[in-house]
Structure 1
Amino acid sequence: MDAGIAFLFCFIIVITAIVMGTVKEVTKRAIALKEKQIEAQKAVSAPALASDVAARLDKMEQRLRVLERIATDGGTDTGAALAREIDALRAQQEEAHGVPLNLKEKVQ
C-alpha cells in the first residue's frame, strides 16, 4: 500500500508539472500575440493622427497669417476688407468642420 500511494503521489506531481508548463507556454504566447496586436494598432493609427494634426496646424497657420495681416494692415477701406476676410475664414471653417470662429457657440 505504501508503494501504491507513493506512486500515485509521484504521478500527480508529474501531471501537475506538465499542466503548469503547458499553461505557462499558452499564457506566454497569448501575451506575445496581444503585444503584437497593440504594436500593429499603434503603427496604423499614428500616421492618421499625424496627418490630422498636420492638417489642423496648417489651417490654424493660415488663420494666424490672415489675422496678422488684418492687425498690421494700414490701408484704406480696412473695414470692408476685414469683413470679407472674416467671411472667407468662416466659409472655410464651415467646409472643414473644425474649430468654430464664433467662440460663443459650443463645440459638440
Structure 2
Amino acid sequence: MDAGMAFFFCFIVVISALVLGTVKEVAKRAIALKEKRLDAERAAALPAFSGEVAARLDSMEQRLRVLERIATDGRTDTAATLAREIEALRAQQEEAHGVPLNLKEKVQ
C-alpha cells in the first residue's frame, strides 16, 4: 500500500468518526427533547387526574362515614333506618354517576 492510499484510508476513518459522533449527539438531544415533552404532557394531565381521584375519594369518605354511623348507632328500629339510609346512599351515588351500589345486579 502506498502513502497516498494510507492517507486516504486514515482520512475516511477520521471523517467517519466525526460524522458518527455528530449523529450520536443529535440523537441524544432529540431523545432528551422527547422526554421533556412527555414529562410536560404528564404534568399537564396530572392535576385533572388528581382532581378526579380527590372527588371520588371524598365521595367514598362520605359514604364510609354514613356506614360507620349506621353500624354504631344504637336505635331500636335499626333495620328500617338502615334500609332508608342505604337507599339514600344509592340515590346519591346514582346522581353522581359513580359506581352503583345495587348489590342485586351482577357487575360484569
TM-score interval, smaller chain? 0.7 to 0.9
Larger relative contact order, structure 1 or 2 (CA cutoff 8 Å, min sep 6): 1
What is the number of equivalent residue pairs in this alignment?
107
TM-score for both structures, normalised by structure 1 = 0.80
**Partner secondary structure for residue 34 of structure 2:** helix
Query: Matches of 1:96 and 1:22 in 2, distance apart?
Result: 57
Distance in 2, Cα, partners of 1:7 & 1:22:
23
Amino acid at match of 1:2: D
Unaligned runs of 5+ in 2: none
Q: Which runs of 5+ in 1 are unaligned?
A: none
Q: C-alpha root-mean-square deviation of aligned residues, in Å? A: 2.2
Q: Which amino acid aligns with 2:8?
A: L
Show the counterpart of 1:8.
Answer: 8
Distance in 1 between residues matched to 2:79 and 2:47, nearest whole Å: 42
Tell me how far apart the structure 1 counterparts of residues 56 and 72 of structure 2 sit (CA, whole Å): 24
Q: Percent identity, aligned pairs only?
A: 74
Aligned position for 2:50: 50
Could you tell me which amino acid in structure 2 is paired with residue 106 of structure 1? V
Residues 29-54 of structure 1 deviation map (CA, whole Å, 9 limit, x = unaligned): 11211220221122122222221221
Report the residue type matching 1:4 in the other structure: G
Q: What are the residue-to-residue correspondences of 1:50-89 with 2, within 5 Å? A: 50-89=50-89
Q: Distance in 2 between matches of 1:68 and 1:18?
A: 72
